[in-house]
Amino acid sequence: MTTIVKDERTAVQSAPARAYWALTLGILSIGFSAIFVRWADAPGAVTGFYRMLIAVIALAVPFIRYLGKAGYPPRREVLIALAAGIFFGSDLIFWNTGILISGAANPTLMANTAPVWVGLGAMLIFKEKLGVLFWTGLAIALGGAALILGADIRNSVGLGTLLGLIAGIFYAGYLLIMQRSRRALPALPAFWLACVGAMVMLFIVARLQGESLTDYSLQTWLAFLAMGLISQVLGQLLVSYALGALPASLVSPTLLGQPALTMLLAIPLLGEIPTPWHVLGGAILLIGVYIVHRSRAA
């Protein structure tokens, strides 16, 4: 244990300053995602579709270069990455819609319960054994979620918060499938193919719902562009870089600050003032998720 702690301290001390800047800017970029969704004020499937479309276009050239060097991946691996994208697209539908109903903060807090569902999924699918620490974190996280949901039900916006919770479950499915995909594919092709899968799925859902894909204001188009370039591409790439340069024990709990950042940003930018119950519930939920993180990292 002492050796592990020393190794982590050494990694933190030797990490370049740009890794910390990358982590900070990455969290800020992702934290703005819910703000962009509110500014777009478009149906959840449409907002998600354009977020994925812009990311696919932005990363198409690097993906083509990868194919030129490594060749085409096996069909099975392509299908697995595309399947991960379907789960990610489902996450975006529920999360985006939840934000339109309940505001930026609470659905985002609920969506960040994903590590809890990842742990449960790993137990059910991969037969992973979960210790007392995990179940303690699960109970605490669900207690915090119940406080938030209860406060929103009293304010008639509980549906949006519940949709955020469902989004977290789908995002957990995405993470589990991507974990399998990353065994055979590097990060770039796996991520790009998942974006393609999500984009196609979101397009189909938007058309089935009869949603318009073109009749939007300039503000909405700018929000779509910001989501695709800043939150999806820049944010994810910066966090991925930080994960490669900093210990996971530092990055993972820091990422939990993203929903808190969203809550703070929503105050001046959207005029959304959290109640004391929301702040308390959010703090309890994030503590529980952090404990879940630690239990699975141990």
Do 62 and 175 touch, CB atoms closer than 8 A? no
Task: Please say whether the beta carbons of 288 and 137 come within 8 A.
Answer: yes
Domain-embedded: residue 266: yes
Quick one: average pLDDT of 176-196?
A: 92
**pLDDT for 252 beyond 80:** no
Residue 290 has pLDDT above 70, yes or no: yes
pLDDT at 11: 46
Q: Rounded mean pLDDT of 124-140? A: 90
Contact at 8 Å (CB) between 233 and 55?
yes
Report pLDDT for 237.
87
149 pLDDT band (50/70/90 cuts)?
Answer: confident
Average pLDDT, the chain: 89
Would you say residue 23 lies in a domain?
Answer: no
Query: What does the pLDDT average to over 189-199?
Result: 96
CB 107 within 8 A of CB 159: no
Confidence of residue 248 (pLDDT cuts 50, 70, 90): low
pLDDT at position 179, please? Answer: 86
Q: Which of 27, 74, 54 is nearest to 192 (CA)?
A: 54
pLDDT at 153 over 90: no
Q: pLDDT, tens digit, for every residue of 61-105?
A: 999 999 999 999 999 999 999 999 999 999 999 999 999 999 999
Residue 22 lies in a domain: no
259 phi/psi in degrees, rounded to 5: -65, -35
If pLDDT is split at 50, 70 and 90, which confidence band does 241 have? confident
Determine, yes or no, domain membership for 25: no
Residue 191 has pLDDT above 90, yes or no: yes
Confidence of residue 298 (pLDDT cuts 50, 70, 90): low
- Type of residue at 216: Y
Please report the pLDDT score of residue 10 as a whole number. Answer: 47
For position 236, what pLDDT does the model report? 86
Output the pLDDT for position 244.
75
pLDDT band at 8; cut points 50, 70, 90: very low
| Lowest mean pLDDT, pick from 8-17, 49-58, 81-90, 227-236 | 8-17
CA–CA separation, 103 and 124 (whole Å): 33
pLDDT reading at 3 higher than 60: no
- For residue range 96-115, list pLDDT tens digits in order: 999 999 999 999 999 999 98
d(CA 252, CA 235): 15
Range of the domain at 44: 39-297
| Number of other CB atoms surrounding residue 247 within 10 Å | 17
For residue 127, name the pLDDT band (cuts at 50, 70, 90): confident
Q: Is residue 15 part of a domain?
A: no
pLDDT of residue 24: 92
What pTM does this model have?
Answer: 0.89
Indicate the number of domains in the chain: 1
Residue 18 lies in a domain: no
Averaged pLDDT for residues 228-241: 91
pLDDT at residue 205 in the model: 98
Place of tokens 């915090």: 144
- Which of left, alpha, beta for 41 (phi over 0: left; psi -120 to 50: alpha)? left
Can you spell out the DSSP letters for the chain?
-HHHHHHHHHHHHHS-HHHHHHHHHHHHHHHTHHHHHHHH---HHHHHHHHHHHHHHHTHHHHHHHHHHH-PPPHHHHHHHHHHHHHHHHHHHHHHHHHHHH-SHHHHHHHTTHHHHHHHHHHHHH-----HHHHHHHHHHHHHHHHHHHHHHHTT-HHHHHHHHHHHHHHHHHHHHHHHHTTTS-HHHHHHHHHHHHHHHHHHHHHHTT--SS---HHHHHHHHHIIIIIIIIHHHHHHHHHHHS-HHHHHHHHTHHHHHHHHHHHHHH--PPPHHHHHHHHHHHHHHHHHHHHHH-
